[in-house]
Structure 1
Amino acid sequence: MSTFEGRDAERYDRRAGRLNRSLFRRICRDVAAAVPRDGAVLDAGTGSGHLLLELARLRPDLRLTGVDLSGDMISIGRRRVREAGLEDRIALEAADVADLPCPDGGFDLVVSTLSMHHWDRVDRAVAEFARVLKPEGALWIYDFRFVSAGRLAEAVRRDFPGRPMRRTLVRALLPFPLFAGYAV
């Protein structure tokens, strides 16, 4: 699994904030509409927390958690959270999506944006998402459309039996569908 550390983390943070802004806003609107009042959301592969910060502005009632393998990205995110005065609403942890430091059944929705292509163990990550989601919870994964959905679909069939997987092409900044959204 690749991570962004040091200067790479700082560069990624600056670029991601600008380049992914419209995608993050769209996802946040969808999440805000889907999660119940006082619900809990996990952002898997949160980077520096851009998506969670936007979501906190839209839905002050939500409990928000983000995990990322990069300690440097988490440090940048914690600084942003502190500057926004949201330490009581957003928790960020350096952790692998294949081994989440989260309680069973604690989240209404797990969302992951532009992270899956970094995961070595998609199957293990999906198993962890199934573990931390409430029984009626939802899993939304957004990534580049060229990322094969085969391993993801296989893991979803195993860990979310009887629940359909939906794939949607998402238009963001570019005039063609660059991102694919997967929902369970």
Structure 2
Amino acid sequence: MPRLRFPEFREAGAWEVKRLGEVCEINPSTGDLPDNFIYIDLESVVAGQLVKKQKISKEGAPSRAQRVLESGDVIYQTVRPYQKNNYLFDLSDGNRYVASTGYAQFRAHDSENFLFQLIHTDSLINKVLSRCTGSNYPAINSSDLSKIQVVVPRTDEQQKIAHCLSSLDEVIGLQAKKVQALK
């Protein structure tokens, strides 16, 4: 239970303990690769931003190109997850996008924005890191990810929290751009 809640949710009852696999579908079946697409590899996302777009054909695609994305999907970096290079996919530029299997693909049952905020909490990251294997390139598999316990509120409270945190992220991003411009 969080210490602080929005006033309208203070009497809404306790949050539920669920497995991550109950909060979202992990690596949903997505069908065949499109003929041409933007490939998102592990270098394409930095701090929640898509920084590189590489257009490739199905024939030239690496074997790791398997996660066909839909709007609202979250991709979660399974190798070195402490870097937080995850992405909430919401592009509608007419291109198809496919992510590497270096990411787990999450499709939220409720709020994708809340899910995106949830995967960046210290609590979840620590649980993930405790289940990672490897020392130079710690990684977690999708099966272990799905078993991690998280605490979630009702959908309406998820949406309110996500909206608030997303708004703060936007303000922080704008301030960072101002600081960069002043430098």
**TM-score, normalization: structure 1?**
0.25
Q: Which has the higher helix share?
A: 1
Higher RCO, Cα 8 Å, sep 6+: 2
Whichever of the two has the greater Rg, that structure is: 2
